[in-house]
Amino acid sequence: MNGATWLSYSLQDFVMFGPEVFLRLFARINQDLWPWLLLWPLAGLVLPWFGRQAAELPRRLAMALAGLAWIGCGYLFLVRYYGPVNWPATGFGWAFVVQGLLLLLLKGRALPAPMTWPAAVSWWLAILLLPWLSVLEMPDLWALALFGLAPGVTVAATVLLFARQPSPLRWLLLALPLAWTLFSAATYWALGTFWLLGFPVATLVLLVVAFRVNPSPAQTPDSQSVRPGPGRQSP
C-alpha cells in the first residue's frame, strides 16, 4: 500500500467490534468466574500490606501477587474473552502472561524497598475507584473492571511497583504497560467509550506519582540493603 492509501484510513477503521461487545466482556468474565473472581481484588487489597514490610519475603509475595494478576488478566480477559473479537488482544494477552511469569521469577529482586504510604494509598485508590469506570459506561454492577482480571486496573496499579525497580529492569517492565496504555487509549477513543479513557489516563498519572513518591531505588538506603552488589552474593 502506498502512503496515500494509508492516509485514507482513520482510527475507527481498525476497530473491528462495537462498544457493546467490549463492555459486555467485563460482565461476562465476572459472571463466568463468580464467586472465585473475588480472590483477585482481595489479593489486590492485601498486596500493599505485604509490599510495605521491611522483610524481603512479604515483598517478594507482593511481586508474586502482581505476577498472578498479570497472568490472570492476560490469559483470561485478553486471550480467552477479548482475543476472539480483536486480534491484537491475543498478542497482548500472551505478552501479559510472559510479564506475569517474569514477575514471579524475579525472586530476590522483587521490591527493592518497602512501598511508601503514598504509593500504597495510590494503589488502594486505583483498585477501588477505577473498576467503576466500566460501570459508568455500562450501568450494570457485573461490569466492574476488577483488579487481576481487567487489564486497565491491573496495569494502572502495578506501574506503581514497576517504577520502583532499578534500571534497566524498570524500563523492561514498563514497556508493556506503556504499549497497552497507548493501544487501549486508541481503542476507547475509536469506540467512543470515553469513561474508559480513565484507565490509560490513571496509568500515566500513577506513573508520575510513582516516580515522585519513590526516589530512585539506587538512592534509597534500604534499597541498597536488598540489592545484590559486587561484594555481596544473594543466596
Partner 1 sequence: MLELSRRRFLIGVGLSGLAVASPRLMAAGSSAGEQAFHSRPIPSTGESVPAIGMGTWITFNVGGDQYLIDQRTRVLETFLERNGTVIDCSPMYGSAADVIGAGLDKLHAHDRIFAATKIWTSDGSETREQAATSERRWGIDRFDLLQVHNLLAWQEHLATLKEMKAEGRVRYIGITTSHGRRHSELARVMETEPLDFVQLTYNVLDREAEERLLPLARERGIAVLVNRPFQGGSLFRRFQSEPLPSWAGEAGVGNWAEFFLKFIISHPAVTCAIPATTSVEHMQENMGAMYGQLPDASQRRMMAEYVRQL
Q: How far apart are CA 9 and CA 26, in angstroms?
A: 29
Any contact of residue 5 with partner 1 (CB under 8 A)?
Answer: yes
Contact 234, 108 (CB under 8 A): yes
Any contact of residue 77 with partner 1 (CB under 8 A)?
Answer: no
Q: How far is the CB of 59 from partner 1 (least distance, A)?
A: 38
Q: How far is the CB of 188 from partner 1 (least distance, A)?
A: 16
Q: How far is the CB of 80 from partner 1 (least distance, A)?
A: 8
Any contact of residue 15 with partner 1 (CB under 8 A)?
Answer: yes
Q: Which stretch binds partner 1 (CB under 8 A): 44-52, 83-91, 145-153, 173-181?
A: 83-91
End-to-end alpha carbon distance in the chain: 56
Cis status of the peptide bond prior to 112, with omega within 30 of 0: no
When the beta carbons of 24 and 52 are compared against partner 1, the nearer one is 24
Any contact of residue 123 with partner 1 (CB under 8 A)?
Answer: no
Any contact of residue 11 with partner 1 (CB under 8 A)?
Answer: no
When the beta carbons of 34 and 117 are compared against partner 1, the nearer one is 34
When the beta carbons of 12 and 167 are compared against partner 1, the nearer one is 12
Give 80's DSSP letter. Answer: I
Which among 36, 39, 19, 28 has a CA at the least distance from the CA of 143?
28
Any contact of residue 179 with partner 1 (CB under 8 A)?
Answer: no
Query: Helix 169-191 crosses helix 87-105 at what angle (to 10 degrees)?
Result: 150
- Reduced to 3 states (helix: H, G, I; strand: E, B; else coil), residue 204 is helix
Any contact of residue 20 with partner 1 (CB under 8 A)?
Answer: yes
Q: Is 107 left (phi over 0), alpha (psi -120 to 50) or beta?
A: left
Any contact of residue 85 with partner 1 (CB under 8 A)?
Answer: yes
The continuous run of DSSP H or E covering 188 comes out as helix 169-191
Q: How far is the CB of 38 from partner 1 (least distance, A)?
A: 23
Residue bearing cell 492516509:
7
Any contact of residue 17 with partner 1 (CB under 8 A)?
Answer: yes
Any contact of residue 188 with partner 1 (CB under 8 A)?
Answer: no
**Residue 12 identity:** Q
Rg (CA), the chain: 18
When the beta carbons of 63 and 89 are compared against partner 1, the nearer one is 89
Kindly list the residues in this chain that would bind partner 1 in the complex (CB under 8 A).
Answer: 5, 8-9, 12-13, 15-18, 20-21, 24-25, 28, 81-82, 84-87
